[in-house]
Amino acid sequence: MLRLKSNTPRWVISILDLILSAFALVFAYVIRFDLKADKTLILAEWAILSKSIFVFFSVKAIVYYLFKINKGLVRFTSTEDVRRILSAQLTVSLLFVALGFVRQQFFDGYFLFPTSVLILEFLSTFLFMVGVRFLIKLWYLESNRSGKIEERVLIYGAGISGLMTKRTIEKDQKIAYSIIGFIDDNKKMHGTRLEGVSIFSSDKIMQLVKEEGVTSLIIAIQNPEEENRKHVLEICLSLGLKVQKVPSASNWVNGEFSTNQIAKINIEDLLGRKAIVLDEQKINDELNNKVILVTGAAGSIGSGLVQQIAKYKPAQIVLLDQAESPLYDFQNELLVQFPHLNFDVVIADIRNYERLKHVFAHFNPSYVFHAAAYKHVPLMENNPTEAVLTNVKGTKNLVDLALDYNVNKFVMISTDKAVNPTNVMGASKRIAEIYAQAANQKGITKIVTTRFGNVLGSNGSVIPLFQKQIENGGPLTLTDERITRFFMTIPEACQLVLEAGTMGDGGEIFVFDMGEPIKIIDLAKKMIQLSGLELGKDIEIKITGLRPGEKLYEELLAKEENTIATHHPKILKAKIREEEATQIDEINQLIGLFEAQNNELLVTKMKKIVPEYISNNSTFEKLDTK
């Protein structure tokens, strides 16, 4: 196909517009005389018109110049260009009426043009100028797309965002996309068209793949129902379609986005659930204008909590962590996200009681969110002393100081691995839970524990590991094909922590509804698909065997526990057994065993404190028989 030059000189466009105007004027006269004008009539009309023709072209040239009609890029003609042409044509016609009145009154008694010609010329010139521009635009688009293999695309979402996605794709010549249709959840829109493109239900995707050769779907809807989106994504993955998404509107530049921002979806998009409805007023009453301390503030949950808390305008947030570089990076991120947030960064280790005492005395927090912990099962299995020092002694330090300094509420972040623990890490968190619950009655501080499973995309979780392995060409390493885990997103987990923390009256362990457990091997397969790779051809999955202390299946409740419903459908209160007073003495003794650096002695004491702690695939299994 003949390719058009990218840049046409402005003077060429100006001359073309005047030629189109001349054609429009001739066309108007021809229509006026119904194609039946004879030579005599033509000569008579020309005698009148000839005295106006100079004015006709002069007015057109001046008005078109003032309205900058020739400045627009013809190959990217838009509705703004159409508006400008219409405004210019209206101005020209009004000037012709005014100048015609002057001629009729003060010169030869004739108007510049007959009224019918004036109307027909206005309409014809507008249609010719707009029509030619769009023809050139289409020609340019087609000529630049020739030779490229087209991606046949469906757009999910037929609203404003979907429409903008369509226009952005059609305008970008670097990509060869053909928009086959829209997919939308609104049943009233099914069977209708948007800018000439049909709108279908998600049930038609398979049919469109077979009949229209659809190869890709772009998620353009900004706030979809999570269940509907997951349904569409599952269909696309089962059909082997490439799935992408447009950025959120907050990331658009000047209300627009480019095709470079259209990105692959990630596994979080596939596993996300319906948005959580929070008791915003209660949370605001609790957190607004308060001093709040967050431990582990540089971690996944800690940083997520800070970002959620910041929305409620606390008087001050104290970010406490021992990880210097991550805390520095998070500090810079907060300065951009929340420029008016009053926060302080504290480098401290929760195992250091004196350092923590200084922090409490200086800031006097009303609220403490305790997210600092060691959480990696294999590492803690090899280093029990560190698990006890951080997860147990660190928590004890914070709880004791919260009581001493009359903190209003202390919210501890725990884990599903504390339930019937099979490893050192889980047992250490369960012991921390026991100490926190026992301390609840010792002062005015209300101590609340929240317990949930794995968090999507958190530091050290399976998803970043799989992503890195995919980027390196594999294989994806999986400990066992049967292994399952509960998952939720970081924002979801943090929102539920806030909700549970504010609803708690002290002494509760709140358990979150984690949904259905997910097989990790299915997660790995979906991540491979989302990366555009084929399992067995492009990349492999390797089974490595269970790691020390690792469970096949996680639990959120122990056998002795049951739950009580709360006002929030995703938060349950665990009804737990009463702990013996001797356990607190045992916990203090456990912390004192650190000096001996004897792992077996330490783990033996942990098993005494938590009788349900039965080691799995670990060197400490031998201690269960004693």
- pLDDT higher than 60, residue 239: yes
> What backbone torsions phi and psi does residue 232 show, to the nearest 5 degrees?
-65, -45
- Cα-Cα-Cα-Cα torsion 447, 453, 455, 456, nearest 10 degrees, comes to -160
pLDDT at 45: 64
Cα distance between residue 81 and residue 42, in whole Å: 36
Of the listed ranges 32-36, 489-493, 517-521, 568-572, the one predicted with least confidence: 32-36
313 vs 467, more confident: 313
Q: What's the burial of 183, exposed, middle or buried (CB within 10 Å: 0-12/13-18/19+)?
A: buried
Nearest to 552, CA basis, from 423, 427, 379? 423
108 vs 556, more confident: 108
pLDDT at 3: 47
Q: Which residue has the tokens 């702990």?
A: 579
Q: For the domain 151-265, what is the CATH superfamily, name and number?
A: NAD(P)-binding Rossmann-like Domain (3.40.50.720)
- pLDDT higher than 80, residue 463: no
Task: For residue 409, indicate whether it is catalytic.
Answer: no
**Residue of 417, 446, 551, 573 with catalytic role:** 417
- pLDDT higher than 60, residue 350: yes
Pick from 57-66, 264-273, 599-608 the range whose average pLDDT is largest. Answer: 599-608
- pLDDT higher than 50, residue 146: no
pLDDT at 60: 76
Collect all residues with Cβ–Cβ distance below 8 Å to 299 and sequence separation of at least 6: 321, 323, 326, 371, 372, 458, 459
Average pLDDT, the chain: 80
Confidence of residue 460 (pLDDT cuts 50, 70, 90): low
Cα distance between residue 283 and residue 308, in whole Å: 11
Cα distance between residue 400 and residue 432, in whole Å: 12
- pLDDT higher than 80, residue 291: yes
Identical topology for domains 151-265 and 280-453+489-513+556-620: yes
Could you tell me whether strands 476-478 and 541-543 are parallel, antiparallel, or unpaired per DSSP bridges?
parallel
Residue pLDDT, tens place only, 163-177: 888 888 877 766 778
Find the mean pLDDT for residues 34-43.
60
Find the mean pLDDT for residues 65-78.
64
pLDDT at 292: 95
Q: Which residue has the tokens 């000569």?
A: 43
Residue pLDDT, tens place only, 127-144: 777 777 767 766 666 665
Of the listed ranges 421-430, 446-455, 577-586, the one predicted with least confidence: 577-586
Residue pLDDT, tens place only, 493-502: 888 888 888 8
Domain ranges of the chain: 10-144, 151-265, 280-453+489-513+556-620
Find the mean pLDDT for residues 60-68.
76
In CATH terms, 280-453+489-513+556-620 corresponds, of 2.170.150.20, 3.90.1150.10, 3.90.180.10, 3.40.50.720, to 3.40.50.720
Residue pLDDT, tens place only, 507-547: 888 887 766 777 888 888 888 877 777 787 888 888 888 77
